[in-house]
With several copies, the nearest count.
Chain A
Amino acid sequence: MNKNNNLKPKDFNTHIKPTWCTGCGNYGIWNALKKAFVSLGLKNHQILGVYGIGCSGNGTNFLKTYAFHALHGRALPVATGAKLANHKLHVVAMAGDGDGAGIGGNHFMHTCRRNINLTYIMHDNRVYGLTTGQAAPTTDRGTRTKSTPSGVLESPVNPIAIALASGASFVARGFSGDTKHLSGLFSEAIRHRGFSFVDVLQPCVTFNKKNTYEWYRKRIDNLQEDQNYSKKDAAEAFKRSNQDEEEKIPIGIFYQEEKPLYEDGLKQIERKPLVDHVINDIDINKLLNNYF
């Protein structure tokens, strides 16, 4: 990553003005991400953003990088395929909590344990935004929504705990109301050698009347400000992720470890990305001979 390019955050804008609701937490994520790209010295074409479907997914139109606006729930496998085909790309997958913890939950689990060098940002607004306010898997028990008028009957998915249980090597949480911290987190996530997951607490001003900016501000607690917290202890991270939210909601890096990349095991991309292999006239005679 070249730290000396002269890009500014606005160079990552497309000609389309974001259509998110005024005050939506997606703005904070968008700004933090652009800042992170700048601080890492990344150029637009070196980045591939892979988006799910949801309000956050609409962001595909606002961020100027290579982009794949995937199906609902499928950002991670698309990101995985693209990364394996061209591991020189910096791949950032972004999707809603419904997308990533609901319909796409299985890919989340498996991408964590796969440890491919890509970053996954969950736009966690604890609601289905784009489909106008149904319960998300992250919605608190008891919450009344269009799809749960008598209140949600399940315990919410805890994305941090799932990432930890699935063996992710970088697990963090940010708050879209604190762009500075968030942008730092994004930079560290992208810099991390391995799969990095950032759960972003993202107020949805239109459909989530509970988890507001204020509500979060009162509770948020930066793990890195706790001198005793070690981000190398998965069990402790797990415990913190289960903290009673009425007291504290930890943000920062819950867990980070160095472990072999999936790509490290792939001899076939050691020398160059798959996409750079010439395929014009591949000699298969040796293979054919196996069948004689």
Chain B
Amino acid sequence: MRAENISIRIGGAAGYGIMAAGYMLSKVFAKKGYYVIDSNEYPSLIRGGHNTYTIRVSTNPVYSVSKNLDILIALDKQTIDLHREEVSYGGHILYDQQDFSSEEMKKSRKDINYLAVPFTKIIEQIEAPSVVRNQVSLGAILALIDISLDTLGTVVKETFMPKGENVVNLNSRAADLGYKYIKEKLNHSSPYTLEIVKHKSKMLVTGNDAVFLGGVRAGCKFFAAYPMTPSSSILHAFASAENEYNIVTKHAESELAVINMAMGASFAGARSMVATSGGGFSLMNEGLSAAAMTETPIVVVLSQRPAPATGLPTWTEQGDMLFAIHAAHGEFLRVVMAPGDPQECFYMTGQAFNLAEKYQIPVIILLDKYLSENHFACEKFDPAKIKVDRGTLIADSSELADDYQRYEKTKDGVSARVVSGLEGGIHIANTDEHDPYGFSSDDPNNRKDMMDKRFNKIKKLVKDLHPPKIYGPPEAEITCWSWGSCKGPILEAMKTLNREQKKVNLVHFNLLYPFLIEPVMKIIKDSNRNVIIENNKTSQLGKLIMMNTGLKFNSRILKYSGRQFLPGEIVSGIEQL
């Protein structure tokens, strides 16, 4: 069967190397130039829970994994119990006879192919530890879809070289044996053949990777975090790059320390960023408010996970939008972004640093576990598109006014900042309300002026912002409204819906706040039937739109089970409208 795209899931207990194998497989596809999107699921346990890694590989752009699986690799029995129903008619399940008898299995679904592979025996044969069964499965998959082993060989090398040549060889051999076993068993024919693409190799990145890369490019010099799923890999990435890129990365004692350290570094003149999830962001609220009062630029990445409280640490949700928009005591200007895919993560992180510095305000980037931790194959980012604009920052004494006023009451609300330590630049960054020099002041007129000054920035700021982007046919019957990571599943659903003649388009907000009322009103005027799609319970985008336009959309497709939408859910949601 020649296929344009194939869906594969590897499943097993935590500790079985599911995440590693899945990532390696995605990497193989990306290297070969295919479009790939993956989705990993795991509980907040180090061992014992059930892990899965689902990959959709395609010759054409894909935006989401799908519900139906072509191939399911079960490294334990539970995988079959849990996921058998998701395998497509005629699909394949690879399993180990040791875990499960084929008789037992066939009882429930006779429409699919069961391929027993002696994962365990193979690794026993080469005396490999049991985790290496994952490599056998990779070989088996590639055999099944008729892709030669050479690219996997490269990936194995890249992955295991740090652990030594022996480990590389062991893993390669395991893959090799898996490959051969299938090839022989199937008489050297493969049930699937992925069409060959001539694309260049693709980058395989998560949203977190993209934020990190955008941050480095934008000149982030100070990054602080306290680990919190699903934001932690941004910390790991910055930490690993700190020497080569001259970035101080600090895993601090708490999120309170994190935001205040970053504020100190930014005050001194270094571009600074922090990353966390909901709980950590809650703790950062007071600091956010301090950044606003002292007009210290700061970029805060908030990767959402299902909450309240500890919630579901390793799952996904879009529950923190209105919190981010209203977070922290007092009234102040901020920007809240919600990139929808890694490209947007990369370029908007660049934009975030510029906005933060030009307007001397906090910028919040909303991600979620789905975007933060799943991999997307995409074209190489273009660093040249991130240009650094540091606004009014002064790094040279000669540029300083004689009577330097850090909080000068300017027309556009933006005053000159100074790299600390310059002669002539002395001032107070004051969390108290303050006069133009920064001295504490409780004068009522000064208070009013300073509030106006800080809010006046919005006039210029909005010119640097972009309205939501419209995807799909301009005059659609149904217009979907969404934000952040739902973009992918909706675009994928639109493929199906528009194929079947339903004309659906998407208005996607990757920039939530400040809300650009006019352009949104215009889109609403031009649209027919509107439906809000969000990965939360209370329809926060719906509230945001109503709060700003007065308009209420009565149709909603909401999901709040801690899982991202599957395109099929959106298709049927829209069909049922």
A80-B264, A279-B271 known; A149 vs B240 contact (CB < 8 Å): yes
**CB closest chain-B residue, reference A48:** B420
A78–B260 contact, CB under 8 A? yes
Residues of A within 8 A of B221 (CB): 85, 274-275, 277, 279
A68–B267 contact, CB under 8 A? yes
B428–A60 contact, CB under 8 A? yes
Residues of B within 8 A of A286 (CB): 244
**CB closest chain-A residue, reference B286:** A71
| Interchain CA distance A213-B432 in the complex, whole Å | 31
B191 to chain A, nearest CB (A): 29
A86–B419 contact, CB under 8 A? yes
B425–A66 contact, CB under 8 A? yes
Residues of A within 8 A of B428 (CB): 60-61, 67-69
| Interchain CA distance A23-B269 in the complex, whole Å | 38
A71–B279 contact, CB under 8 A? yes
- List B residues 249-284 near A (Cβ within 8 Å): 249-258, 260-272, 279
- List B residues 213-256 near A (Cβ within 8 Å): 213, 216-219, 221-222, 224-229, 232, 235-236, 239-256
B265–A81 contact, CB under 8 A? yes
A44-B426, A61-B439 known; A279 vs B388 contact (CB < 8 Å): yes
Q: Tell me if B519 counts as interface (CB < 8 A to partner A).
A: no
B261–A80 contact, CB under 8 A? yes
A45-B425, A69-B310, A78-B264 known; A106 vs B253 contact (CB < 8 Å): yes
Q: Tell me if B30 counts as interface (CB < 8 A to partner A).
A: yes
A107–B257 contact, CB under 8 A? yes
B431–A53 contact, CB under 8 A? yes
**CB closest chain-A residue, reference B378:** A291
A70-B431, A84-B265, A274-B221 known; A89 vs B421 contact (CB < 8 Å): yes
Indicate which residue in A50, A55, A103 contacts B254 across the interface (CB closer than 8 Å). A103
B48–A77 contact, CB under 8 A? no
Digitize A10-30: 1 where CB-to-B-CB distance is under 8 Å, 0 elsewhere. Answer: 000010100111100000000
A14–B439 contact, CB under 8 A? yes
A291–B209 contact, CB under 8 A? yes
Indicate which residue in B15, B201, B239, B439 contacts A146 across the interface (CB closer than 8 Å). B239
Q: Tell me if A132 counts as interface (CB < 8 A to partner B).
A: yes
A58-B440, A131-B227, A279-B388 known; A82 vs B30 contact (CB < 8 Å): no
B253–A105 contact, CB under 8 A? yes
**CB closest chain-A residue, reference B290:** A71
Q: Tell me if A79 counts as interface (CB < 8 A to partner B).
A: yes
A268–B242 contact, CB under 8 A? yes
Q: Which of B205, B244, B249, B429 has the most CB of A within 10 A?
A: B429
A65-B426, A74-B256, A274-B247 given. 13 additional CB < 8 A pairs? A69-B429, A71-B279, A74-B260, A78-B267, A84-B261, A105-B253, A149-B239, A266-B248, A268-B246, A275-B395, A279-B221, A279-B271, A282-B245
B residues apposed to A, CB below 8 Å: 15, 30-31, 44-49, 201-205, 209, 213, 216-219, 221-222, 224-229, 232, 235-236, 239-258, 260-272, 279, 286-287, 290, 294, 309-310, 380-381, 383, 388, 395, 419-432, 438-440
A residues apposed to B, CB below 8 Å: 14, 16, 19-22, 43-46, 48, 50, 53, 55, 58, 60-61, 64-74, 77-86, 88-89, 102-103, 105-107, 109-110, 128-132, 134-135, 137, 146-150, 206, 266-269, 274-275, 277, 279-288, 291-292
Q: Which are the 7 A-B pairs with shortest beta-carbon distances?
A: A279-B219, A81-B264, A81-B261, A19-B48, A77-B260, A78-B264, A85-B268
* 10 A–B pairs (Cβ distance < 8 Å), ordered by A: A74-B260, A77-B260, A78-B261, A80-B257, A81-B224, A81-B272, A82-B420, A85-B265, A281-B388, A287-B241
